Amino acid sequence: MKTPGIIRGISLAIVLTSTLTAQYAELQPVPPVSFPAQTDSNSPAFWNDGELVLFNSTGDGPIRSSGSDQFNLGNSQPVVLGSSIHRPYWIESTSTDEDGTILAWYHHEPPGVCHAAGLTAPEIGALMSKDGGKSFIDLGIVLESGYPADCSSQNGYFAGGHGDFSVVLNQSRSYFYFLFSNYGGPPEEQGVAVARLPFYRRYTPIGAVEKFYDGRWQELGIGGRVTPIFRATVDWQRPDTDSFWGPSVHWNPYLGKYVMLINRSCCSPGWPQEGIYISYNSSLSNPAGWSVPEKILDGGWWYPQVLGRGAFETDSVSRRIARLYVNGISSWRIVFHK
């Protein structure tokens, strides 16, 4: 993953009301609070036996913390992963089944993709836990690019691949939707893409994920093509990449919509953070329904996400008011307005 270096200047911005989306988000400064462990990705959360459980991930492996709420997290311990060749890995999304089984999805960076260039090409895999997320079984890779790695890529990190994502279960509990970053292949396929997994295949996901391409869910999760919902303006192989990436998505019952927070990299070498943006959609089954991203923060670090403040609110379900975290630190609360 991409550990940020110097923090660029951050200026507070209130999102203007869109004539198309009819809602907006307001950021209000609050005393800062930090996640309990180092953060280098989206940090998913879920409730287990009355406690909030949070995963923070780096290349050294995910850390599980728990507590009464997001302001009282502790008991931090490394996650135990059973037999798996998919290391290093970062847990980026979770979901809890009715029987307490924890499903999780991870970003994996295979070693040795581009030895001389020091680049990799990420993949997305699935996990399952029967002990509240203390240990996991690897269910395998479910999303992988079909294009060869381009070791001449000049973004500094990736030679292609799929990664930096969110997984959200739709309201009818029929599909899990993956919103992920596609870093390779033809320029017209690069950007933020979408795939889905039938709910009934959640324990046997290999071969069951469908990528959205050319208006249909018609491409295989392993090797298939994609049509981005937000296409890269300048592709990831160039040093002056201009693209959205790293979506964090939650269902917002107050708005009755899904909300995406997303990074934008532009327009010089080193993966610089131009800003953080927000987008809305009423239905995950309609990839074209996402509103035009609107900026809420200039510059800053990577990995924006919300964490709901109420009981049973998480990073994937949050109501009108939540804490906004960026790279594991919350200096704002985010208030949604209809």
171 beta partners: none
Number of domains the chain contains: 1
pLDDT band at 3 (very low <50, low <70, confident <90, very high): low
Is residue 147 one of the residues assigned to a domain? yes
pTM (2 decimals)? 0.95
Residue 2 within a domain: no
pLDDT surpasses 80 at 10: no
Residue 97, in any domain of the structure: yes
Residue 251 pairs with which residues in a beta bridge?
A: 258, 317
Q: Is residue 114 scored above 60 in pLDDT?
A: yes
Question: What residue numbers bound the domain in which 195 lies?
Answer: 24-337
Contacts of 5 (CB under 8 A, 6+ apart): none
Q: How many CA atoms lie within 13 A of 202 on its CB side?
A: 23
Pairwise CA distance, residues 278 & 247, whole Å:
9
3-state secondary structure at position 176: strand
Give the residue, 245 or 10, on which the prediction is more confident: 245
Mean pLDDT in residue range 304-319: 96
Mean pLDDT calculated for residue range 96-121:
95
Angle at 162 between CA 313 and CA 70, to 5 degrees: 20
Task: Look at residue 314 and tell me if it is in a domain.
Answer: yes
> What mean pLDDT do residues 143-162 have?
96
Q: Is residue 4 part of a domain?
A: no
Confidence class for position 13, pLDDT limits 50, 70, 90:
very low
User: pLDDT band at 85, cuts 50/70/90?
Assistant: very high
Contact, 300 vs 10, CB < 8 A? yes
Average pLDDT over residues 129-136: 98
The percentage of residues in the chain with a pLDDT greater than 90, rounded to a whole number, is 91
* Residue 156: inside a domain: yes
For residue 235, the domain's CATH number is 2.115.10.20
Q: Does residue 60 lie within any of the structural domains?
A: yes
What's the average model confidence in pLDDT over 21-43?
Answer: 94
> Which tens digit of pLDDT belongs to each residue from 43-69?
999 999 999 999 999 989 999 999 999
With cut-offs at 50, 70 and 90, classify the pLDDT of residue 282: very high
Note whether residue 10 is domain-resident: no
